[in-house]
A and B are shown apart, each in its own frame.
Chain A
Amino acid sequence: MPDRTVLVIDDEPQIRRVVRNALSDDSTQVLEASAAAEGIDLVASRRPDLVVLDLGLPDVPGIDACRDIRRFSAVPIIVLSARHSDSDKVALLDAGADDYMTKPFSTRELQARVRAHLRRVAEVGASGTTTVEKDGITIDLLKPSLTRDGVPVHLTRTEWDLVRVLAKHAGRTLTHQQIFKAVWGNSYRDAQQNLRVHIRSLRRKIEPDPVRPTLIVTEPGVGYRLEYP
């Protein structure tokens, strides 16, 4: 009996095969669906631990499939896309996808992402992360505190709000829109510009080399992600 199931929804048999070969092992069962409708049914009936969804499905646009799944399930969704327009990616993440990969992706990368999402869900459940530890940085959202090699780092109020929203969804890319909605609310207009300035000052405080960030990563044209350890 496998520990977990992964569902791949893709109309291309070759891609389903690639995903199956990459992910299936003794502890993981891979389910396959060749259309969105079938896939959404399987999400409901088999309750997979993770969904790999192709954006270019023949029956329903991938983004609608993503929204449909989010209506009843919090299962992590990784989207595969051949297109790489930023607005597509943003729309996907806003529609509830957790991650996306552009074809041709590397098998190792897919395995790593799937592992990370599964572990994240297993560790933190649906409520979100409360502590993150990476590269000597410890973030504790409950206390709340942020320490670098055990030494507390002073953050401004806004920087804390940023850390909180990024850490709560560690491992997920948050769109600019999602971040400034969470930090400033809707009313604050130049948040988008200020967001970049605050990210920079935050990086200077917590990244070992702010020009080569390893903790708060930029997804160009999309948003930011706090790397899940």
Chain B
Amino acid sequence: MIRLENGTRTESMDRRYMPWILWLLVLTAVTAGMVALRSTLIEAHVALAYLLVVLGGSSRHGGKIGIALAALAFLCFDWFFLPPFNTLTVAKPVDWIVLVAFLLTSVVAAQVFEKARSEASTARERVRELDHLASLGAETLNAGRAEDALVAISMVIRSALSLDGCAIYSAENEAVDVMCDVSETPSSDSPDSDQWHAHIETAAHSNAAVALGINGAVERFTIPAPASDAPWPAASDFVRLAIPLAIRERTVGVLTIERRAGIRLSPDQWRFLAALSYYAALGVERVRLVATAQSADALREASRLKDAVIASVSHDLRTPLTTIKALAAEIVADGDDRALTIEEETDRLNSMVADMLDIGRINSGTVSVNPEPNEAEDLVGAALQRIQGRSKGRAIRVSLESGEPLLIGRFDYTHTLRALVNLLENALKYSPDSEPVDLCVRREDAWLVFSVLDRGDGIAPADRARIFEPFYRGRGPSPDAGGSGLGLSIAHALAKAQGCSLVYEPRDRGGSVFSLRVPAVDLEELSRS
């Protein structure tokens, strides 16, 4: 467990003085031993032996013992081993050099050891902290439900920092909502909850922490980097803090803490809070992602249902249409021409059903697009073939920039065919019977352009922006109320779905030009691919 309280170590007196006694004994023993052998020893031997004792002491128990040992050893060296013996006077001046060198070496060595020791102990502490945070993080993030993780994190923050309250809020777009609140008195119950909520929103939107003082004063600040050793703030009158939670600079929520006696945290505690805030941020994000995933599942399910509905509607409507159409045909065969109208109306009803189903499919984004190199002439031929039954003998003039190079575009054949047929139908419908409809195909730089031109009334400037909207009809006379009003919007949507464009332009000397642009492909490019 991380040591967050600033308490002192409570070690017994024995344990505290044991190392001093031990190393005094070692020093005494070494001195005694060397005194016995004094006649055979030179100064270097003595200096080395004492140095070993000093190093041993400081490496085991720190600089204080080291320096004390160095001082004692210095005295013993002088007293016992430098002539005249048993005095602190030194006979030869050169011996002073030996003594001073010994003292300096011992003290420096003791200090170096002390520094290394304290660094190692800090490092050990950090490792313990890290370890703790990591396991806490893993635990909280692994909590069964994403919301449980947030509760776990706020509980840990509250108890570890001895707070009265801790709460986590999510911040998405403009909305800031409480996700968990483990306060003694939840902030929503406090009398100033609305004001406080406004401060939380400020924290979320400004990305700076907001502090609320005892006297109601509000201050914005940035959380201090844990550099100084002193607790912060020095004299605390903050009772509540709202800290924005961010992941990669994106604010995902707000963490609030409360302590009625005033919030004052040591650098360790700030660091701890920063780390746990990050876990809280991840937790909030996790809740959001889980919700997103669930709604994506729901969307997928809805889309699947929609497809099922479309399939069954399509089946259920087409079967009776088939029967009606067939019966009408039988009646016609029996000589009653009135049934021809039934047949025609059935066809119209069918194409309306198809349009409705198609626009539904396109809008729900379930249309699959398969663009591949296709040949313009082939598409035009198929479009003319398809419109044959509906053109009632009206002339459609085709002009293809013929000859080499071939007109090849990259488009989805079926969708583009449907778009082109809709454009032709539209042109036939909205232009007088006497006027032919023109279909031109040409290459324009990187585009292959299919243009359908008619001599109808054209489209009033006010209506131009909206002609591709479903069910939109211009203000002009509608020659045929029977269409679904979806032809142009289907064509437009199908063009857009495959990254092509469909635009309207007024035609010189009256009428409309609808141009469908698809990416062109060069034959050489094709044979290389």
Contacts and interface: CB of A to CB of B under 8 A. Distances in A.
Interface of A: 12, 14-15, 17-18, 21-22, 56, 82-84, 86, 103-108, 190, 192-194, 196-197, 199-200, 203, 210-213, 217-218, 220-221
Given A15-B323, A210-B377, A220-B417, 12 more contacts: A18-B322, A106-B329, A193-B372, A193-B373, A193-B529, A197-B375, A211-B380, A211-B400, A212-B384, A217-B385, A221-B414, A221-B417
A22 B311 CA distance: 26
B526 A190 contact: yes
B377 A200 contact: yes
B112 interface: no
B329 A218 contact: no
13 contacts: A82-B319, A83-B311, A84-B354, A190-B529, A193-B372, A196-B378, A199-B378, A200-B375, A200-B378, A203-B381, A212-B381, A220-B386, A220-B413
Contacts of B373: 193, 196
Contacts of A217: 385
B318 interface: yes
Nearest to A224: B378
The size class of the interface chain B forms with chain A is 35 or more
Contacts of B398: 211
A17 B350 CA distance: 20
Contacts of A210: 377, 381
A210 B406 CA distance: 14
The B interface, classified by DSSP as helix, strand, loop or mixed, is helix
Interface string B341-380: 0010011001000100000000000000000111101101
Given A196-B378, A197-B523, A210-B377, A86 B414 contact: yes
Contacts of B375: 196-197, 199-200
A82 B329 contact: no
B424 to A, nearest CB: 13
B374 A196 contact: yes
A21 B414 CA distance: 33
Interface string B316-337: 0011111111110110000000
B89 interface: no
Contacts of A203: 377, 381
Contacts of A221: 413-414, 417
B322 A105 contact: yes
Interface of B: 311, 314-315, 318-327, 329-330, 343, 346-347, 350, 354, 372-375, 377-378, 380-382, 384-386, 398, 400, 406, 408, 413-414, 417, 523, 526-527, 529
A210 B375 CA distance: 12
B304 to A, nearest CB: 16
A211 B414 contact: no
A200 B347 CA distance: 32
A18 B322 CA distance: 8
Contacts of B314: 82-83
**CB-based closest 5 A-B pairs:** A221-B414, A18-B326, A104-B322, A107-B329, A103-B318
A187 to B, nearest CB: 16
Nearest to B329: A107
A14 B315 CA distance: 13
A112 B95 CA distance: 129
Nearest to A210: B377
Nearest to B412: A221
Nearest to A86: B414
B277 to A, nearest CB: 52
A193 B527 CA distance: 9
Nearest to B350: A104
A213 B380 CA distance: 10
B476 to A, nearest CB: 32
Contact of A104 (B321, B417, B527): B321
Given A196-B378, A197-B375, A218-B385, A12 B326 contact: no
Contacts of A196: 373-375, 378, 408
A96 to B, nearest CB: 23
